[in-house]
Structures are given as C-alpha cells and as structure tokens.
Amino acid sequence: MALALSSSLKPLCSFSSSATTSPSSTQQDSFSYRPAVILPGLGNNSSDYLKLEATLKENYGVPTVIAKVSRLDWLRNAAGLVDPNYWRGTLRPRPVLDWYLKRVDEAVQEAKELAQGGTLSLIGHSAGGWLARVYLEEFGLSHISLLLTLGTPHLPPPKGLSGVIDQTRGLLYYVEKHCSKAVYTPHLKYVCIAGRYIQGAQLFRNSTVKVESTVPIGSAQSISEDAIMNDLSTSTSNTATLRARFVGQGYKQVCGQADVWGDGVVPEVSAHLEGALNISLDGVYHSPVGSDDVLRPWYGSPAVVEKWIHHLLS
C-alpha cells in the first residue's frame, strides 16, 4: 500500500500495513505516544526544532524534549584538530563529541521523568542520527525503544575514490565498525527516513563508480504506479543545472557518486541502514533551515511528520 499525501510528497517505499496510515484528528486521543528526544544535526541549534516540537506536542500529544545545542557549540569539534587521528582519518567520537553526548543524556534523563517508567523514542536529524547510535552504544539502551533518523548519513564514503574526502575524518567508519547493527524488533526499532528532493548531477559528463543501495526496504513493501512514473519523468527531464551539479558534488563526498537522489544534502542511499525499516519520501528537503512547509517541506514539516508519527506509538 503506497500512500499519497500530495503530488509533491509521496512515500516511494512503504510497508503494506495499516500501521502506515497516520491517525486522524478524531482518532488521536485513542493512541498513546512515547516521549521523544530530538537530537539536532550538525550546525543546527535547538531552536531550529521548536516547530517540530510544537507539532509533536500539539497535534499528537507527544511529550518532547530537544537536546540543548547551540551553533557555537559545534566549534567544540575543532578540538579534534589536535588529535593525530583527525589527520589520519581515524577519528573517534570520544572525547571530541563528549559535549554532545552529555547534552543528549541530559535530555534523555528529562524525558525519562515524562515517561514515568516507560520507554523513549530518539529522533535524530542528520548527524544527530548516527550520534544517537554512539549514545546508545556508550550509555545503554534500556530506556530506548525507537531510534528514528531523519536524513542521517549513516554510511561512510567509499574509500579510494578520486576527489572523495571523508568529511567526518573517520567518525562514520568508527560508527559502522563499533556500534551495534540496526535492528527492527518489537523491543527496539530502527526507522531510517530518506528524502528525495533533488537528483544530483556530475560536474562533468564522465561516468563514476555506480553506487547501488544494498539495503532492503522490506519484503512487504509496494510502490505505487504513479510514484514510479513520477520518478522516471523527473529523472529523464532533469538537466544538469548548476544547482544539480553543486548538489551532486555534495552527494559525491557522502556516497561516492554525484548523480543520485537525495534530500539536497544527504543521498538517499546513505540515509538507509541494513536491518532497519527504511523509508524514502519524495519531495522532502534536508534541513529546517531554508525549508518551507508548502513549497519545500523538510522532515519535520507537519505534512511529513504525518507520514512517520505512527512509529512513535507505544
């Protein structure tokens, strides 16, 4: 069953289950949602997520806490420059990112009081998604039953490609090697959501290494016919505009290939994890900064939240 929100926002891949249908306003009172902790992405601050927090609280009654992060806080990461591992590309999350993990833990402790003995949902945007995995590895997951990531670059870039530099300086390789694999069980669910906002283009016409997604979306999935036609028509009509070339160079640094779909920052192929429930949404932009709920919705826009809110059900 594929659901269509509008012509510009469709889940290209979804499980054929009634659980994918968001509750109507008349049904919401009969549902119970876990408290949620929002983990900001790289360069974002807590205030960027206030509208998402309001949507979760006011529309669905989800008790929500945002990890307290400011834009200036991210300058703390410069401490990694004095670590030889930074220059070798083998940087580890700790101690460089201890400040962030502490903020997450403080938010989790606050949310635990709201949960009154129940479990929590972690909502990680962008880098906040893989930092959530580090947090679970370092602090434990006994109180967490869901990790939902929004446009998170989970996978490190392929090694050995010309012009591709690991911007995390080894952090994502560490996460891939040392953090627990994604799972989707009744006790702990990993849900990874990717956006398909714009297809990148190569800077030059030369072909590059083809990157294929090896992550299964789910055996019970179905893709609507109009979603397929939309994908094909968009792909064939997409000219190599300056914007597409610029976006493509960003995609290439993340996944090794420029001419792939993504949310404008993170390629779709990088935002999915093997073992998780992986979902792609057409027309969804990466960041709350520069987004527009009508013309350029991001993962936290009300119409997009409606597509994933059911995963927060207790």
Using DSSP's 3-state secondary structure scheme, residue 116 falls into coil
Beta bridge partners of 184: 189
Please report the pLDDT score of residue 85 as a whole number.
65
Annotated domain spans of the chain: 36-194+261-312
Per-residue confidence (pLDDT) for residue 187, from 0 to 100: 87
pLDDT band per the 50, 70, 90 thresholds, residue 161: confident
pLDDT in tens, 121-136: 999 999 999 999 999 9
Query: pLDDT tens for residues 5-30?
Result: 333 444 444 332 223 334 444 344 44
Average pLDDT estimate for 155-178: 80
Rounded alpha-carbon distances, angstroms, from residue 168 to 125, 152, 254:
16, 13, 10
For residue 282, pLDDT over 70 is answered with yes
Q: Which two tokens stand for residue 116?
A: 């009154």
**What is the C-alpha separation between 167 and 284, in angstroms, rounded?**
23
231-277 per-position pLDDT tens digit: 333 433 444 688 899 999 899 989 889 999 999 999 999 999 999 99
Share of the chain above pLDDT 90, in %: 50
Please give the pLDDT value at position 263. 96
CATH superfamily ID and name for 36-194+261-312: Alpha/Beta hydrolase fold, catalytic domain (3.40.50.1820)
Give the model's pLDDT for residue 137: 92
What tens digit of pLDDT does each residue of 22-56 get? 444 434 444 689 999 999 999 899 999 999 999 99
Burial of 7-28, coded b for 16+ CB within 10 Å and e otherwise, reads eebbbbbbbeeeebebbeeeee
